[in-house]
Structure 1
Amino acid sequence: MKTLVSKVVVSAVLCAAAFQGCDRKPDAVATAEAADQKAGIAVPDLAEVKAIAEEGFIYGLPLVMCYTAAYEFWVDKDSGQYKSPIGQLFNEHRVFTYQDTSVVTPNSDTPYSFACLDLRAEPYVISVPDVEKDRYYSVQLCDWNTFNYGYIGSRATGNEAGDFLVVGPQWKGEVPAGIKKVFQSSSDFTIALFRTQLFNADDMPNVIKVQDGYRVQPLSSYLKTPAPAAALALEFPKANAELAKTNFFEYLDFVLQFAPAGPGEEEVRARLARIGVGPGKTFDFKSLSPEHKAAVLLGMAEGQRKVDERVKTLGKTINGWNIGSAFGDRAFYNGDWLLRAAAAKAGIFGNDAVEAMYPMCRTTATGETLDTASHNYTLTFPAGQLPPINAFWSVTMYDGKSQLLIKNPLNRYLINSPMLPSLKTDADGSLTIYIQKDSPGADKESNWLPAPDGTAYIVMRLYWPKTEQPSILPPGQGEWHPPGIVQNP
């Protein structure tokens, strides 16, 4: 997702804020202040409004980003990213390319299957087929809080067939016979992301066979019993990255009504209510007074700055790579909303460390920015020191600014371990990857990772990393380190 708040818009917005429409809705902040006054609670001054907006931006960023992606994938049929209606599984019989723009740092390793589930009326059952032993697959369960609350797949449950129950935050029903495990979402809506390993282009028919074995259905359909009463129909607010710049807290209002406050969240939600933000509320930025607009925007801009700074410090920098663990469940974040926001900004819907590690790189080993418009680079794995994994690894190239895949003449967005038979090794057995915007020549093109005409952002993915040393685990402390990227003379 593109940056939600520009760091240079404040003065322009202050000018624009002076224009007031004649059909303006009540100022949400002023309305909340009036309620505070009536209750004998001290009214927040502008500095406090700014502080609450900053905190709310950090707390709410992952939820708003998740909703924006969900809206484009499962609601807006004209978004260009639409997959299927909510409650239906969609199998992508391809990998992501530069044309996929709904989420930052998209994975181009594994064909995806997607589902967004509405758990308000009843749970859903996810069924998986037998998958051959050497093919990795995973089903990541991520709720609208962006908590990874469960996994199905090669590492977590094995490659055998099975049925798994996904329930909402309030569900207390009986678990039917035949269900292997129950997963409870912290929100009424949840996302299921299926990743199925693709060995090469010719392997796609085999991936499709696996995908055809995935099933997602309401519990009543699974049990062949009458369905319960349907949940209330919803009007999903139109969302995209541009609208989120000024409608941010409107989206947060909408999402919060489907995500009951968990431990440690009551206080931040109480503070948000003091500026008129919360479940069931209708925060309308355009209705704010010029002073409140300025305070809210300044707070959001400061929140964005803190998120961007936190992204830079996710994990530990080793050889120019940032190695850390930024994704997990509610217990993993333990109320660290800045970490959660930075994780979403770095690459929303990322996996837990035990499922996949994501070393991220924007510089050489000596700290110089990867400027592939002006320089060529190499990444060399010494003989016998390829990434230690149980499944597979990859090195993916992104545009340094947008964090999206880049258009290139080879339609190649990554180099991964399934490609090893077609890659050339050096005389000493090492493997060199050429990172540059132009071809390194026919003799080296097999090992070429095309780069943007600008700055580069490179993400390594290690699926199901080994735990025995040498390993990249624990994050930032393991014995195996990615080699540094070197600028060519």
Structure 2
Amino acid sequence: MATHDSSLDALARDAVRYTLPLYEMARMRAATCPRRDSAGTFAGDGPDSTLRWINTVTHVRALLGPQHRQVVTPNNDTLYTNAWLDLSRGPLLLDVPDCHGRYYVLGLLDAYTNPFGYIGTRTTGTQGGTWLLHGPAWRGEVPAGATPLPCPTDAVWIIGRILADGDADLAGAHALQDGIRLRRPDGTAAASVIDAGMHAGERPGDPDRYATIVRRMLAENPPPADEAELVRNFADAGIGSATPLTPVQRTALAAALAHVDAELAAPRASALGGGWSLPVEIRNSFGTQYALRAEVARNYIGALGIEEAMYLMADCDADGLPLDGTHQYELVFPAQGLPQVGAFWSLTMYRKSDCMLAENPLQRYSLGDRSPGLRAAPDGSLRIVLGARGPADPADSGNWLPAPPEPFYVALRLYVPGSAHLERTFRYPAIRRIKEAS
């Protein structure tokens, strides 16, 4: 017969799996909401303040490189645009200009990290428009010319990605960024101050801090009605309860935080063969896949649903051995076997040690269908070489993706993937180690 302690331990682990996305969203909000508004006014009274500006749009104006270290596994293809919304005080209008054919997406995540909505070339076209973003409790008139976009929670994260073909293409991407604006329907300024309640560097280790942050997130962003009873039960483990943790709850929650973190950090098997796996495979909602939702929140927060983008990862070769830049590898897309995408594809290199882009003499961090030096073989196949050393034939240097001389992994991004990818019928090229001459 199960003891009370063992049942409490199990309940605490379930509570952490369910609520970790809420914690991570709170942490990302603290990290990415600006301290100063567009006029330079600080939200708080000093660097230690947890006050931030919310309902404001911020932009990254350069393609990310090794010097940018805010986000793990960043892409090197698009500019990022970021906005956190607080819809508890009423709806907001989001204006987006005509993109003039440029690929872009504004992905909307609710407080539980479900990628519930998309504005962009795939879903809403190229001509732009105005959207009324409102929370679950709002009832009112939609302004003329606006399209309603209901949001499951009052806290929403908008992560925008705008394609830029290298530095020479930045001006056009900047123009699109500059036209993305938030405003209130009554004409007042959208930007307001919020207490983020935490600092960006915090990690979910302290049970009391974790319980405090999650309690607030649950209160401000209630779960769906059919999950309310499940969440109420977490109060026995100190999650969602208005009372401080008891010593028994504190011990159980501390153990649960460590247990779930180790569980979510464990490597995944190469489910697609050839070294490849697909760690994020959702569309608009995780539903009741709470463990998967927690894994994505911990490791890939902000990922889009697979109809917009698929992220295929490989940190091992086709034989299951870890990829290491001291060796050379190749992958060959056969003729007529390139990725099938409606927007673009790219292969990006990362250091395993910190999940960041790796500096290299070519300042080349990705290769893809827009890379000018990438060339196919006479038979139509495309061979890409990975490693710290370049190809033996200098003529193949355009097909070289430089690796650091240490363990690495690669990400194959497919934006607006075709049906062969979505239906799992596409064959991904195996990553094979090149035999070194003796």
TM-score bucket (shorter structure): 0.7 to 0.9
CA contact (8 A) 2:122 2:416 kept: yes
Q: Which letter maps to 2:156?
A: T
CA contact (8 A) 2:54 2:85 kept: yes
CA contact (8 A) 2:91 2:134 kept: yes
Q: Distance in 2 between matches of 1:300 and 1:111?
A: 34
* 1:163 aligned residue (127, 130, 153): 130
CA contact (8 A) 2:60 2:80 kept: yes
SS of residue in 2 equivalent to 1:63: helix
Stretches of structure 1 lacking an aligned partner (at least 5 in a row): 1-43
* 1:338 aligned residue (291, 311, 316): 291
Stretches of structure 2 lacking an aligned partner (at least 5 in a row): 37-45
Distance 1:335 1:53, change over 3 A: same
CA contact (8 A) 1:113 1:211 kept: yes
SS of residue in 2 equivalent to 1:363: coil
1:482 matched to 2:428: yes
Matches within 5 A, 1:272-311: 272-278=234-240, 281=242, 289=247, 292-309=249-266
CA contact (8 A) 2:93 2:183 kept: yes
CA contact (8 A) 1:104 1:348 kept: no
Deviations 1:376-397 (A, max 9, x none): 2122222232111111001112
SS of residue in 2 equivalent to 1:392: strand
1:327 matched to 2:282: yes
- Residues 406-415 or 191-200, more deviating: 406-415
Distance 1:402 1:283, change over 3 A: farther
Q: Distance in 2 between matches of 1:75 and 1:50?
A: 38
Q: Which residue of 1 aligns with 2:171?
A: 205
Q: Distance in 2 between matches of 1:119 and 1:220?
A: 14
Q: TM-score, normalised by structure 1?
A: 0.78
1:245 matched to 2:205: yes
1:139 matched to 2:98: no
Q: Which letter maps to 1:208?
A: H
Post-superposition offset of 1:164: 0.9
1:429 matched to 2:397: no
SS of residue in 2 equivalent to 1:445: helix
Distance 1:46 1:327, change over 3 A: same
SS of residue in 1 equivalent to 2:9: helix
Q: TM-score, normalised by structure 2?
A: 0.87
Post-superposition offset of 1:46: 2.8
CA contact (8 A) 1:380 1:433 kept: yes
SS of residue in 1 equivalent to 2:324: coil
1:51 matched to 2:10: yes
Post-superposition offset of 1:298: 2.1
Q: Distance in 1 between matches of 2:351 and 2:275?
A: 17
SS of residue in 2 equivalent to 1:354: coil
Q: Which residue of 2 aligns with 1:63?
A: 22
1:188 matched to 2:140: no
1:95 matched to 2:95: no
Distance 1:298 1:157, change over 3 A: same
- Between the two proteins, what is the percent identity of the paired residues? 30
Measured on the aligned residues, the alpha-carbon RMSD in Å equals 2.7
* 2:422 aligned residue (450, 473, 486): 473
- Residues 358-367 or 425-434, more deviating: 425-434
CA contact (8 A) 1:394 1:461 kept: yes
Deviations 1:402-459 (A, max 9, x none): 323233333332112111x322333433222221134447544322222234322211
Q: Distance in 2 between matches of 1:398 and 1:64?
A: 26
1:267 matched to 2:229: yes
Q: Which residue of 2 aligns with 1:383?
A: 335
- Residues 237-246 or 458-467, more deviating: 237-246
Post-superposition offset of 1:234: 4.5
CA contact (8 A) 2:351 2:406 kept: yes
Q: Which letter maps to 2:200?
A: N
Distance 1:299 1:91, change over 3 A: closer
CA contact (8 A) 2:279 2:313 kept: no
Distance 1:117 1:255, change over 3 A: same
Q: Which residue of 1 aligns with 2:39?
A: none
Distance 1:354 1:345, change over 3 A: same
Q: Which residue of 1 aligns with 2:362?
A: 410
Deviations 1:270-300 (A, max 9, x none): 2221132217x4756xxx63x5544322222
Distance 1:293 1:173, change over 3 A: same
Q: Which residue of 2 aligns with 1:367?
A: 320
Q: Which letter maps to 1:473?
A: L
Aligned length: 418
Distance 1:90 1:160, change over 3 A: same
CA contact (8 A) 1:269 1:278 kept: yes
